[in-house]
Amino acid sequence: MITKQNTPTLQNWLRRNFDYPLANSAEYRSGIVHRLDKETSGVLLVAKNKEAFENLQTQFKNRKVAKTYTALVHGEVDPKEGDVKVTVGRLPWNRERFGVLPGGREAVTGYKVRSYFGMRTEDGSQKSENEGRRRKSEVGLQNSDLKLLNQSSNFNPQTSYTLLELFPKTGRTHQIRIHLKHLGYPVVSDEFYAGRKTARSDRKWCPRLFLHAAKITISHPKTKKSVSFASALPRELSNVLASLEKLPQTP
């Protein structure tokens, strides 16, 4: 399910299409346990009854839920895996936006490189301005020079890209997107954190935010057994990868 502006809400869609105890409950949001960012696709948990809803919310609160996301980002991410541990929150100079913020809420995101890609040129060859000079990710940067770090207008887009697996350990608003922008690798077609100019250019070949909730693992509220739910990459995002040229990886 992809949420878009000016379309019926997810709660309305659930009420129309399914019959379960919490379907019409405003108090329990029709059983929706967590949220996905606008334009993010993938797995979303919905509880059928009050007991399951409260159990799953407790699992999220206690960080017992394992989540895996897939994202395509600008640049060639190096090192190839790591953890980003930087506090985030609402920006004092723009209360409608979130970003890196000292004294903000703890936020931890693990990541792992899956593949590197280059943009194909008109003659079919691959193009990568970053190749051979990958920038180092500033994993675990201190919260300094924040206003500069949170200004998306200064980002200079590259013609190389990285497909990442991401493992958010916390669930802050826009956490993955903020952390990736903080490292200098904003998500492709991200209008908030890559900047409007870059996002407009991205959307000529990537129609929406390239962020997908690929897998989620929980303890079943009733049986207590570990249960995983997975969602394949949607066709529109698979087509984006097919339009790019896969680059070789160094050990």
One-letter amino acid at 90 equals R
122 vs 44, residue with greater confidence:
44
83 tagged catalytic? no
How far is Cα 168 from Cα 148, in angstroms, rounded to an integer? Answer: 24
**Cβ(249)–Cβ(116) under 8 Å?**
yes
Find the mean pLDDT for residues 162-170: 98
Q: Which of 37, 78, 145, 202 is catalytic?
A: 37
Query: Which residue(s) pair with 67 in the sheet?
Result: 216
How far is Cα 10 from Cα 187, in angstroms, rounded to an integer? Answer: 24
Contacts 24+ apart (CB under 8 A), 62-67: 63/169, 63/170, 64/218, 64/219, 65/216, 65/217, 65/218, 66/167, 66/215, 66/216, 66/217, 67/167, 67/168, 67/171, 67/213, 67/215, 67/216, 67/217
Q: Residue 121 has what pLDDT?
A: 65
Q: Residue 30 has what pLDDT?
A: 96
What are 182-225's pLDDT values in tens digits? 999 999 999 999 999 999 999 999 999 999 999 999 999 999 99
Q: Residue 32 has what pLDDT?
A: 97
Binned at pLDDT 50, 70 and 90, residue 179 comes out as very high
Binned at pLDDT 50, 70 and 90, residue 133 comes out as very low
What are 89-114's pLDDT values in tens digits? 999 988 888 999 999 999 999 999 99
Q: Residue 132 has what pLDDT?
A: 37
Task: Provide the mean pLDDT of the chain.
Answer: 86
Most confident by average pLDDT, 86-90, 130-134, 136-140:
86-90
218 token code pair: 């929980």
Q: Residue 122 has what pLDDT?
A: 56
- Does position 71 have pLDDT exceeding 70, yes or no? yes
Find the mean pLDDT for residues 113-131: 68
Q: Encode 8-26: b = buried (16+ Cβ within 10 Å), e = exposed.
A: eebbeebeeeeeeebbebe
**Cβ(174)–Cβ(127) under 8 Å?**
no
Q: Residue 7 has what pLDDT?
A: 60
Query: Model-level pTM?
Result: 0.83
**Cβ(73)–Cβ(185) under 8 Å?**
yes
**Cβ(77)–Cβ(113) under 8 Å?**
yes
How far is Cα 185 from Cα 179, in angstroms, rounded to an integer? Answer: 9
Terminal-to-terminal C-alpha distance of the chain: 37
CATH number of 65-246: 3.30.2350.10
Binned at pLDDT 50, 70 and 90, residue 178 comes out as very high
Tell me the domain boundaries of the chain. Answer: 65-246
